[in-house]
Structure 1
């Protein structure tokens, strides 16, 4: 039995690979390096197996996946903005690629598939916190592809008996997250801007809120799903259950850096959600999940780590 991570050279996948490697597990990473980077795996590359390839290659997946394997399906074209610009590519990778992973897992008798979904499937409903049983309302092609993946996970469990889990990530941040592209997540991007003594750009009034979750919480949730013998076909929010505005993020960074930097405010971006907050009672009850690192601790840790880069 081995742990197969699709998209394992990306931000979340590489952190997951490192933790599994530290637990002396056999780890295989598949990634086409379109958005991931081999540098994320470099410190422990000799202790895992890396295969450069795409989840669109079903033949390759069938060569990799074997009986009893645990599959962490992290591979996707990330970013709401990317999907708005190129919905066809997002659909191809995030939907067909997910279906390929499930088909290969079923064909080769894998033990289970753990799917990385997104809180974006909830849309911009004003109801808070977001509970897994709420109606979904995707506002971007990216969110729609993730919701489609969720339905496939549920279907493959109910139709074929393949053990599946869906994890809805809420604004994950941490080390190995690229801060330097237009698609970068807000926290690493803002940290790098503060390091460069520049002014961060906020789209909107800065009052929009997010349930920011440090990477250790997400890694924990994935590993819990790899061991549990219940909750198959289910969906779980992965977050901290607390929300902070972008203005509060700026305020906290000013404290950490001992600065008084004012952001630049611009018009809202298409597809962005105004407020986000997770109800994490289900994952706590079913998986015995607990928040390992809260927002303030995670932010401080990440600033220190990025200062070394």
Structure 2
């Protein structure tokens, strides 16, 4: 199914120079007026096409936010403090970014009458009591990050109900892909880095915990569908519906890289969720979204690909969207 086109719109991507945001910006930039609001604490301006408008600032700054959002038709809200560990260490600072500043984004969207597609998280479910996890599952987050994302998720949906603002919350499961790096990088990029360097691949705990890994290009497609759907005021799981154990993932990456790295185990993270996997039937039926990139092909592409320019990545996605 062809992804709905977004053309000739004014679009704001908060956190647009970051991992997911920059891929979204690349896809939108050729056919829209795209603005990026980013404080570059983790984002990288080199990820951005030359023809986008960049407002360097924080989403908690009302002036910067107003400047970036003026006249926007759609706001893709990606900016966040994404580290669970950092949210535990500094819950107030995390709350200011993940919730208080997000309310400023929603209020600004009301001023502009702009649709909001917001990044929620599978962290809202905590330890799931059923697998795969449907959107109707109980929500018992285990960290300040999860609590903040749950509150944002609720606010996003209630803004549609209370203020007739078109909104969609996307509950990302484990997103991976190019540009996922730095101290809060995902497990796939960490394992790849260790395997390529010939270092031990370190698995936390016994490795039997399972996750649902979804490629960033599929996440971009989900955002495009959320930006055009009539099913607003809703939350959707964004994953593949497939789970893999972390031990199997480590061995898969080791084999794919022809690495001799041993797979070793270290102490588990306190409060780590044992199993996580998305029920994606609602996103399929209401958004027309299904993940197209298998984990195996996604890992192979990460191993084989050289860094591409923004224009090259945009051209690739234009083909993939067909």
1:295 aligns with 2:295: yes
- Distance in 2 separating the partners of 1:161 and 1:66: 19
Q: Which position in structure 1 is the counterpart of 2:33?
A: 26
Q: Give 1:63 shift.
A: 2.5
CA contact (8 A) 1:173 1:212 kept: yes
Question: What does residue 249 of structure 1 align with?
Answer: 249
Tell me how far apart the structure 1 counterparts of residues 53 and 63 of structure 2 sit (CA, whole Å): 18
Give the Cα–Cα distance (whole angstroms) in 1 for the partners of residues 29 and 155 of structure 2: 29
Displacement after TM superposition at 1:68 (Å): 5.2
Q: What is the RMSD of the two structures over their aligned residues, measured on CA atoms?
A: 1.6
Alpha-carbon offset, residue 159 of structure 1: 0.8
State how far apart, in whole Å, the 1-side matches of 2:10 and 2:119 are.
19
The separation in 2 between residues aligned to 1:164 and 1:307, in whole angstroms, is 34
Determine the structure 2 residue equivalent to 1:10: 18
Seen in structure 2, the aligned counterparts of structure 1 residues 165 and 284 have a Cα distance that, compared at 3 Å, is same
Secondary structure of 2:79's partner?
coil
- Report if the CA contact (8 A) 1:56-1:100 is conserved: yes
1:144 aligns with 2:152: no
> 2: CA distance between counterparts of 1:40 and 1:83?
26
C-alpha displacement at 1:305, in angstroms? 2.7
Q: In structure 2, the residue corresponding to 1:128 is in which secondary structure? A: coil
Tell me by how many angstroms 1:16 deviates. 0.5
The structural deviation recorded for 1:259 is 2.9
Give, in whole Å, the separation in 2 of the partners of 1:307 and 1:49.
23
Q: CA deviation at 1:292?
A: 1.9
- Segments of structure 1 that go 5 or more residues without pairing to the other structure are none
In structure 1, which of residues 36, 46, 49 is the aligned counterpart of residue 43 of structure 2? 36
The answer as to 2:96 corresponding to 1:99 is: no
How is 1:1-309 mapped onto 2 (pairs within 5 angstroms)?
1-22=9-30, 24-41=31-48, 44=49, 46-67=50-71, 69-110=73-114, 112-178=115-181, 180-181=182-183, 183-228=184-229, 230-305=230-305
Alpha-carbon contact 1:173-1:213 (below 8 Å) kept: yes
Q: What secondary structure, in the 3-state scheme, does the structure 2 residue paired with 1:83 have?
A: helix
Q: When the two structures are superposed, what TM-score results if normalisation uses the length of structure 2?
A: 0.90
Equivalent pair of 1:21/1:27 in contact (CA under 8 Å): yes
CA 1:159 to 1:126, structure 2 compared with 1: closer, same or farther past 3 Å?
A: closer
**How far 1:307 moved relative to its partner?**
8.3
Unaligned runs of 5+ in 2: 1-8, 309-322
How far, CA to CA, are the matches of 1:254 and 1:200 in structure 2?
8
Q: CA contact under 8 A between 2:76 and 2:117: conserved in structure 1?
A: yes
CA distance in 1, matches of 2:271, 2:44: 27
SS in 2 for 1:152: helix
SS, match of residue 227 in structure 1 = coil
**Residue 4 of structure 2 aligns with which residue?**
none
TM-score, structure 1 length as denominator?
0.93
Per-residue CA distance 1:141-178 (angstroms, 9 max, x = gap): 10111001011111211110000000000100001111
CA contact (8 A) 1:126 1:275 kept: no
Once the 2 structures are TM-superposed, how far is the Cα of residue 267 of structure 1 from its aligned partner?
A: 1.4
Q: How far is the alpha carbon of 1:276 from its aligned partner? A: 0.6
For residues 194 and 307 of structure 2, what CA distance do their matches in structure 1 show? 12
Inter-CA distance 299–106: structure 2 relative to 1 (3 Å threshold): same
Q: CA deviation at 1:281?
A: 0.5
